[in-house]
Structure 1
């Protein structure tokens, strides 16, 4: 019986424990209102998956969509201000 051995080193080496940098954490903090608004929209949409949306569900989805759009607008305006007005 022949022994089969790997002829090459492993393709995926063990990654060291790398923590996010301060800049990455700051970027997440800046985008957190948008992330939370999108989660709220997703929650509202998930509620209506197994039933016909009633009036309250429709309002909840509409409100969540408006919140996502407002968060995107605020984030875009913030990026435009930090980039010197060039968006």
Structure 2
């Protein structure tokens, strides 16, 4: 039986091998405050997994949740830069 494999190297690059475009980096920079607030909330939630929450922990959790909501509200009220990401 004859092998019919490709004889030349692949011309197009694999999508997992490429660097982010400028538009994608702009989109990430635009959402950075929300990402940081969500990471902070996740840190508080992880710290409370193995112990009961004290009054201070409850305040930290509530503050982190409010920070996420405020960041989401700010992003919602801003005009997003037109980057062409996902288009």
TM-score between the two structures when normalised by the length of structure 2: 0.73
Across the aligned residues of Structure 1 and Structure 2, the Cα RMSD in angstroms comes to 2.6
Count of residues paired in the alignment:
74
Following TM superposition, the consecutive aligned residue runs of length 4 or more in structure 1 with deviations greater than 6 angstroms are: 6-9
Output aligned runs, 1:36-47, within 5 Å.
Answer: 36-47=36-47
TM-score under structure 1 length normalisation: 0.73
List gaps (5 residues or longer) in structure 2: 83-87
Distance (whole Å) between structure 2 residues aligned to residue 78 and residue 18 of structure 1:
30
* Relative contact order, higher structure (CA 8 A, sep 6+): 2
Segments of structure 1 that go 5 or more residues without pairing to the other structure are: 1-5
